[in-house]
């Protein structure tokens, strides 16, 4: 049993949901030599999120953005945390609801995602900038 | 310290929230011989979810379904991802919000759930079919 | 590689979102002697939640409470699970959406939270009482 930790940055993206599976797996190219185990992807931010969802049709990501804007609208009159603009509080609440991390199984030396599962970065700020990830992998060596 | 991985399928269920604690624990009957550790239950799908909630009164699950249908209605006119029908996009968004996985503590050779906690499968499609789970268990042997 | 488990109770808090980072880290003072690894914080309840978010401005937590009350209102007429009062079903649904647990990276013997990340307890009942946590830590010894 071994544990490995890798830190990396996801490049800046515009507000919305983005498929980052390839960018993540490239940074974890050899999964630290682990054959069977767990991988925690942890975003060190409070206004962006990680989620798993459909990896094929980009309209899923567009609809996620459109519908979450309706559920948690920018600049609602009852928000008190407004210092950084109308997208500030909604970004925090979306980050908490979708969550800042993913725990994924490693099987046969690969992330054991389903056929249609991809990793989404939810960028909930208009200008979020690069996003730092701490990846922690635990398991049996190959 | 050991790691074990078990794959199994949850039988098809109608749309809604379902208590699957017994079906899951039967498949993990001996928790791979682990006394203290972690258990990741990971659903390899993007239109169903796993959650923890009240394990006694079925009206909780009925209310979850009724209220999430109001928050994320079927066939809203702004959805663009509609190819598979009015329940398609809502199923994806619910899966991302409730989440595709659960990480549970193992204590004294059992899942350390609270007295009132049960494992819910959120089946968000009208005809979701069987749902594949990858269970990964890490910890100290008994 | 070692695994350690610690059980503790978060003191009772009023309904709302509360920053509990200090209370949690005090209970995990030495992180069980782990230098690199994972920490699962698991709440054994179905009407409270754990989340990560902004650790500085208390209005974020006030806005979370105000806005989630709009999304999942107390005593909506379509709720059937109402035995314990108008806050009962909303508490369960919020607990499932925010989630009952957090999986956090341990790096250099500390929880590797981002600068602005704090641990929130979402107390979703009017009178929730003390809340039990099972903390499970896995990783390499210092």
Q: What is the pLDDT of residues C31-85, one digit of tens each?
A: 879 999 999 999 999 999 999 999 999 999 999 999 999 999 999 999 999 999 9
Nearest-CB residue to C44 (from B97, B103, B117): B117
User: Considering CB atoms only, which of B37, B63, B104 is closest to C3?
Assistant: B37
Neighbours of chain C (3+ CB pairs under 8 A): A, B
How does strand C2-10 pair with strand B16-19? Answer: unpaired
Cα(first)–Cα(last) distance of chain A, in Å? 10
Mutant choice from C41, C60, C72 vs A, greatest count of A C-beta within 10 A: C60
Using a CB–CB cut-off of 8 Å, the residues of A that contact C are: 1-3, 5, 38, 40, 42-47, 71-72, 76, 78-81, 83, 89, 92-93, 95-97, 99-101, 103, 132, 134, 136, 138
Which CA distances in Å does A27 have to A23, A30, A114, A140, C32?
A: 7, 9, 20, 20, 29
Query: B52-88 as b/e, with b when 16 or more CB fall inside 10 Å?
Result: bbbbebebbbbbbbbbbbebbeeeeeebebeeeeebb
- Please determine, for residue A87, whether its predicted confidence score (pLDDT) is greater than 90: yes
pLDDT given for residue A46 in this prediction: 98
Cβ A81–C59 below 8 Å, yes or no?
yes
The pLDDT value given to residue B29: 85
Residue A32: DSSP 8-state: G
How many B-C residue pairs are in contact by the CB < 8 A criterion?
A: 103
Closest residue on chain C to A5 (Cα): C36
The answer, as to whether pTM is greater than 0.95, is yes
Nearest CA in chain A to B6: A107
Q: How far apart are the first and last CA of chain B?
A: 10
What is the distance between the alpha carbons of residues C142 and B134, in angstroms, rounded to a whole number?
Answer: 31
Give me the percent of chain C exceeding a pLDDT of 90. Answer: 96
pLDDT at A32 (0 to 100):
73
CA-CA-CA-CA torsion sign (C32, C38, A34, A38): positive
- Angstroms from B35 CA to nearest CA on chain C: 10
Specify whether the CB–CB gap between C81 and C89 falls below 8 A. yes
Write out chain C residues lying below 8 Å of B94, CB-based. Answer: none
Q: What is the ipTM metric for this complex?
A: 0.97
Task: Verify whether the Cβ–Cβ distance A40 to C117 is below 8 Å.
Answer: no
């Amino acid at each position: 049993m071994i544990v490995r930790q890798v830190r990396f940055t996801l490049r800046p993206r515009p507000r919305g949901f983005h498929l980052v599976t390839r960018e993540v797996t490239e940074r974890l190219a050899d999964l630290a030599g682990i054959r069977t185990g767990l991988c925690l992807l942890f975003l060190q931010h409070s206004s962006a999120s990680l989620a798993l969802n459909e990896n094929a049709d980009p309209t899923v990501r567009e609809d996620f953005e459109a519908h979450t804007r309706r559920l948690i609208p920018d600049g609602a009159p009852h928000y008190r945390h407004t210092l950084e603009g109308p997208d500030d509080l909604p970004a925090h609440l979306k980050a908490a609801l979708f969550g800042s991390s993913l725990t994924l199984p490693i099987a046969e030396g690969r992330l054991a995602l389903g056929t249609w599962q991809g990793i989404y970065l939810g960028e909930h700020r208009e200008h979020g900038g690069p996003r730092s990830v701490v990846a922690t992998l635990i398991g049996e060596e190959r």
